[in-house]
Structure 1
């Protein structure tokens, strides 16, 4: 039987809003540079770091990267031409010089490209586009790897985060191609000595509801199962302090018991709580209050919902150091409310405000809309990049640790990019409160070595 390809997330802009370059060059390792001038007023401004910015940057750069395969079937065969397209924009206010694009990663993809790509100078408001081509390496069997594209400069400027592609190369064409999220579903091993004996983990996923008229996320149950495994391995939560609720085991009474009885029995002074929820929530049309929808929630009433305010209150009562709440939710106005101009979701509650930094929310979708499923990754779009970030994709400093600031920045950029390029609309994650100060931004979530 011919080998089956396991993953490739190719042919997507890592920062949306730009048409792909049409230029192609068949020579291996060749580079074409094309410069486009534009005013600073029209420069894109959608790349903003959630981490603290260095004082007085002389320029702010953004860059996009896209990796294409020659026949556009999203599969790399040995000898096939690969095209890497990179676009860099200087949002000003000063010119920059001596920029480089460098490659790294696992496997042999990076070494096929001539590096580095150099940009002599960029004026304020200027954009340059680089195109590099190479041949996929010869392989005897399917090989999995990564290609990381990084913008480097010696000047005192704000550098955007690297872009990483999961790629695989197969020996030749095959009758069947299977695209699986092996990059996040292959549970990483827990590094030695990185356990958190006082941490508690909860993962909840509801894909279908008892009322047949409601539907949740296509991958919600799978999202919760894999996230629970990450709590145990990457994060280091002891198995005895880990709780998974899915489907019919995620009734409203289960929410109450988990948050208000089980969890207080597990915590100790200084504990960390990792909470993940994938499913649906209602938003009050006038107040914006958010209420989670358990498995037995009714579409005609919020009586059996679990208010976010109640969750925050339960967490605030605990003698914990911090609770990290990750929410992959499709949001809709609660029934019986105003049909026009509903209030946006209100994520802040009195307990969240009163205990600043004790409860941190990383929210996959802050608007009234459905959260995107991501078929290529076999997860919800937010969850896919959350897991990828925790496993090391968000380690922007390459120091073997993923901080809260790094994770927030990484997830926001990746989800926004894919939502715009793949689905043609918005999905904007947010962190509440934003890790705007060093203390919160530097909170370490995972240690990779």
Structure 2
């Protein structure tokens, strides 16, 4: 029998120890207890009325148990079981579905979530019985030695009464073994607290009991402050260095010398408050350097710093230095890049009820040319796109009746097809026609002729250009007389929205006024002037004021309509005045001049 006990103890030890090494390294967010069968065996004390029986044996346990609760030390939980029973020498009993209330103050979980051990208290009552009152209290400690096997010790108390006239109590203590599982929920490894080891910069020697000093030291010091730009102002981002030179002018050695910085300033947070420089022999000296790179963002301050020098035996320097130094944050340079800006003429339009079903427009805007010899026209494409929106919303031209040719879509063949063929095919005698061109113009220096430069055009090759005279003749062949042309280009060859063949003389005055009888032409400048962009508004100068006029600025008589005469009378002085302010002269022109009856031709309705 003795050998059997030793074997059981060895077996239990072998089962517990492998997992015990990890116990306590993990914690859980809750716990769960499930049991198929739980058996306990022990000795106890049975008491009824005035009769008692010490030393009796009891078997206790439960079948099909489940419980769950909070993690220790707040480990309250609740559970139930199919049957709880107790059997002894003088009494046996069982109840079904008792209400179990648990409290778990302590548990050490391993990596698998098994507690090794777990301390618990279990209180049970029989709320469903009407004639028998059953109450138990158990305090125990369990080890989850395997997945469905736990071993422990428990002490219990049982109280049973039948209609309150038959009562007995049982006290017992013993061991228990169960096909059960204590399981931690949400198990994770505990955070390890590692105390950092302080770095020893310089060890201050211990001062032993002082012996009589017959040759005392005498400490003095000098200091110097160096900042990055040497303006004696501590700027954010600068490297600052305060050097204190301590001299011993006495007859004896100075021991445990320190240089202290104090005062009311945030500079102390960066420079530090103390430097230990150790012993200084007689007639010797040492340096302490307080150094830092200041953050860019520091509070403006007048730094107040006080320098003191102390000695371990009390022979401190008899002088202190107080410094007042200006501090200021680093200067921030703001770079401004205009990505986009909403210009007044670019704000969304409110469409009017005005609509011309029999109206047609060709809109041309060329910013990028195929030839790299031709400069870009910065806002020409943007001008054309904005003019199109105005023609739809304010001038009543149906969107399907507008041809828009921009950049690579505005080749010489495209201009020829839509100006000479598409308009001729659609326009009748009652039609309204609007043609707009934004891009480069160029002159012929020998003959004085003017040309529009298409996307694939190139000055010096007449066959690749679109003659202005041909353009006017095409419009003259249309059956209607309600034709308006706006040219935001120039033909002088002197720059701006004009180009010329290399080696040719600029400032040509080409023939741009021979427009015929049917079309009224608004040009951005006179023949010998240049047409420029208005960078502040991101449009050509001429186009900007055309748009502003159509938006309502040109409605000089406030009747809600903008006529051709009103648009020119508004645009011409505005462009001229703004160009002079910018340092050049640009004067819009209108042909024929005077306009005569064409001045009353209605272009747009603003309300």
Give the TM-score normalised by the residue count of structure 1: 0.56
- Hey, what does 1:444 align to over in structure 2? 602
The alignment status of 1:185 with 2:343, answered yes or no, reads no
Distance 1:286 1:207, change over 3 A: same
The alignment status of 1:283 with 2:448, answered yes or no, reads no
Equivalent of residue 346 in structure 1, options 491, 495, 511: 511
**In the TM superposition, what is the alpha-carbon distance from 1:321 to its structure 2 partner?**
2.7
Alpha-carbon distance in 2 for matches of 1:285, 1:176: 43
Residue aligned with 1:388, SS = helix
Residue aligned with 1:365, SS = coil
The alignment status of 1:267 with 2:427, answered yes or no, reads yes
- Hey, what does 1:318 align to over in structure 2? 478
- Hey, what does 2:526 align to over in structure 1? 366
Name the larger-Rg structure: 2
Is the contact made by 2:491 and 2:508 (CA closer than 8 Å) also made in structure 1? Answer: no
- Hey, what does 1:400 align to over in structure 2? 560
Could you give the per-residue CA deviations for residues 237-293 of structure 1, whole angstroms, max 9, x where no partner exists? 011110100000000000111111211122122111111000011112243211100
Could you give the per-residue CA deviations for residues 347-388 of structure 1, whole angstroms, max 9, x where no partner exists? 133xx34x2xx1010001223454211111110000000001
Alpha-carbon distance in 1 for matches of 2:525, 2:406: 21
1:126-141 equivalences under 5 Å are: none
Aligned residues: 268
Give the TM-score normalised by the residue count of structure 2: 0.42
Residue aligned with 1:331, SS = coil
The alignment status of 1:237 with 2:397, answered yes or no, reads yes
Higher-RCO chain (CA-CA 8 Å, sequence separation at least 6)? 1
1:122-161 equivalences under 5 Å are: none
- Hey, what does 2:589 align to over in structure 1? 430
Is the contact made by 1:206 and 1:250 (CA closer than 8 Å) also made in structure 2? Answer: yes
Counting strand residues as a fraction of each chain, which structure ranks higher? 2
Distance 1:181 1:330, change over 3 A: farther
Alpha-carbon distance in 1 for matches of 2:376, 2:586: 17
Residue aligned with 2:440, SS = strand
Alpha-carbon distance in 2 for matches of 1:336, 1:216: 16
Is the contact made by 2:492 and 2:506 (CA closer than 8 Å) also made in structure 1? Answer: no
Alpha-carbon distance in 2 for matches of 1:231, 1:447: 10
Please report the RMSD computed on the Cα atoms of aligned residues, expressed in angstroms: 2.3
**In the TM superposition, what is the alpha-carbon distance from 1:175 to its structure 2 partner?**
10
Residue aligned with 2:489, SS = strand
Residue aligned with 1:323, SS = strand
The alignment status of 1:391 with 2:551, answered yes or no, reads yes
Alpha-carbon distance in 1 for matches of 2:433, 2:559: 24
Alpha-carbon distance in 2 for matches of 1:382, 1:336: 25
Is the contact made by 1:231 and 1:237 (CA closer than 8 Å) also made in structure 2? Answer: yes
**In the TM superposition, what is the alpha-carbon distance from 1:335 to its structure 2 partner?**
5.2
Alpha-carbon distance in 1 for matches of 2:506, 2:374: 23
Is the contact made by 2:443 and 2:500 (CA closer than 8 Å) also made in structure 1? Answer: no
Alpha-carbon distance in 2 for matches of 1:379, 1:336: 26
**Any unmatched runs of 5+ in structure 2?**
1-333, 494-498
Distance 1:191 1:335, change over 3 A: closer
Residue aligned with 1:188, SS = coil
Equivalent of residue 579 in structure 2, options 396, 414, 419: 419
**In the TM superposition, what is the alpha-carbon distance from 1:216 to its structure 2 partner?**
3.5
Is the contact made by 1:187 and 1:229 (CA closer than 8 Å) also made in structure 2? Answer: no
**Any unmatched runs of 5+ in structure 1?**
1-173
Could you give the per-residue CA deviations for residues 47-72 of structure 1, whole angstroms, max 9, x where no partner exists? xxxxxxxxxxxxxxxxxxxxxxxxxx
Is the contact made by 1:326 and 1:363 (CA closer than 8 Å) also made in structure 2? Answer: yes
**In the TM superposition, what is the alpha-carbon distance from 1:340 to its structure 2 partner?**
4.8
Alpha-carbon distance in 2 for matches of 1:329, 1:272: 23
**In the TM superposition, what is the alpha-carbon distance from 1:434 to its structure 2 partner?**
2.5
- Hey, what does 1:294 align to over in structure 2? 454
Alpha-carbon distance in 2 for matches of 1:176, 1:401: 40
1:171-182 equivalences under 5 Å are: 180-182=341-343
Alpha-carbon distance in 2 for matches of 1:395, 1:435: 20
- Hey, what does 1:376 align to over in structure 2? 536
- Hey, what does 2:412 align to over in structure 1? 252
Is the contact made by 2:411 and 2:456 (CA closer than 8 Å) also made in structure 1? Answer: yes
Is the contact made by 1:284 and 1:337 (CA closer than 8 Å) also made in structure 2? Answer: no
Alpha-carbon distance in 2 for matches of 1:387, 1:374: 13
Could you give the per-residue CA deviations for residues 76-117 of structure 1, whole angstroms, max 9, x where no partner exists? xxxxxxxxxxxxxxxxxxxxxxxxxxxxxxxxxxxxxxxxxx
Alpha-carbon distance in 2 for matches of 1:253, 1:302: 14
**In the TM superposition, what is the alpha-carbon distance from 1:435 to its structure 2 partner?**
4.1
Alpha-carbon distance in 1 for matches of 2:405, 2:337: 33
Is the contact made by 2:364 and 2:410 (CA closer than 8 Å) also made in structure 1? Answer: yes
Residue aligned with 2:463, SS = coil
